[in-house]
Amino acid sequence: MASVLHFSYILGPVGSGRGYCNCQYHASRFCRQILNKYRSRTTPGLSISLPLHSTWTAKRSPLCSNITCSATDRSDPEISSAARIRNEVLSPFRSVRMFFYLAFVASGSLGGLIAITQLIGALANPARAADVPEILKGLSIDVSAVSLFAFLYSRENKAKNAQLARLSREESLSNLKLRVDEKKIISVNNLRGIARLVICSGPASYIMESFKRSEPFTESLLERGVLVVSFTTDGNIPSFEFEESEEMKEFTRKRKRLWQLTPVYVSEWSKWLDEQKRTAGISPESPVYLSLRLDGRVRGSGVGYPPWNAFVAQLPPVKGIWSGLLDGMDGRVL
């Protein structure tokens, strides 16, 4: 009897908090069956009835509410799965190279460890003194191989992290919002394959001067799909002046189209631009421009006014016989 009571004490009564959810329910049910079987052998006709369902239902919720199932995610939460997939697509053999670099490092380390043990044995045994130069030669080869492949792995890993960070920034940029007019708001992603954005960020005076400098190249910029996003950092709104005469009506329409985009949710734009400046090592107060490719990736950036004449000389038109062939000739990605 003492052993049965001890067994019952270990499992505990229903709702005592020793079990968890359905596991406690089945454990208490199993305990009841064992006790009834034992009692039927010692005292016929005696059975034990435990209030399983009603009591358990009332006390199950607090126990279940404390259970948390989770899986540890060791990846950087700031890097999305889409950015990682794009990284694999852009560099499909990088993971293979990194694997072989690690394998060569491990192989060289093992060879070096064996060579060290052989060297210790040769130095301790005068009869093997003639083997020391050969052992040192093999050890130097192993150390050189480990150093070389460790350096290659480190360089490859840095390039991978830099590319992931750039792709993550580009993905964040594609989600930023732009106002086309009073009734229409789009994201930067909606302009992929359609327009090459030039983002001008600085005080209102910088925006106004950039606006004036772009005037001689208005038509050429539009032919190349260039649209300007003006982002003021001093809180002032630049007032663009357009010629409203009948003779300049068509040109004014093009000027308004070139400068029609304005950022929405300024805090998000400011956060993205500050991160871009910090990555490039530029002061947060510096006026900058960023030029995007047709695919939405950053092709160029700099401090100061945008080089409108360089854009006209470097970028191919988005329409015409050469447009499809030269779509990828936007320049290298930064």
Q: Does residue 250 register a pLDDT over 60?
A: yes
Q: Record the tokens describing residue 61, joined without a space.
A: 């919720």
pLDDT of residue 209: 93
Note the pLDDT of residue 11.
41
Q: How confident is the prediction for the chain on average, in pLDDT?
A: 76
Return the higher-pLDDT residue of 239 and 313. Answer: 313
pLDDT at 112: 92
Average pLDDT on 189-199 reads: 90
Predicted pLDDT at 29 = 55
Residue 8 has a pLDDT of 38
For 178-314, give the CATH class.
alpha beta
Mean pLDDT of 274-282: 85
Q: Where are the domains of the chain?
A: 87-169, 178-314
Lateral strand order in the sheet of 177-179:
185-187, 177-179, 262-264
Half-sphere exposure of 15 (CA within 13 A, CB side): 12
Q: Which of these, 134, 241, 260, lies nearest to 191 by C-alpha position?
A: 260
pLDDT for residue 331: 59
pTM strictly above 0.75: no
pLDDT tens column, 56-94:
343 443 433 343 333 333 445 566 676 677 767 778 888
Q: What's the pLDDT at 258?
A: 93
- For residues 228 and 291, the answer to whether their CB atoms sit within 8 Å is no
* Distance in angstroms (rounded) separating the CA atoms of residues 316 and 99: 41
pLDDT tens profile 210-246? 999 999 999 999 999 999 999 999 888 888 888 777 7
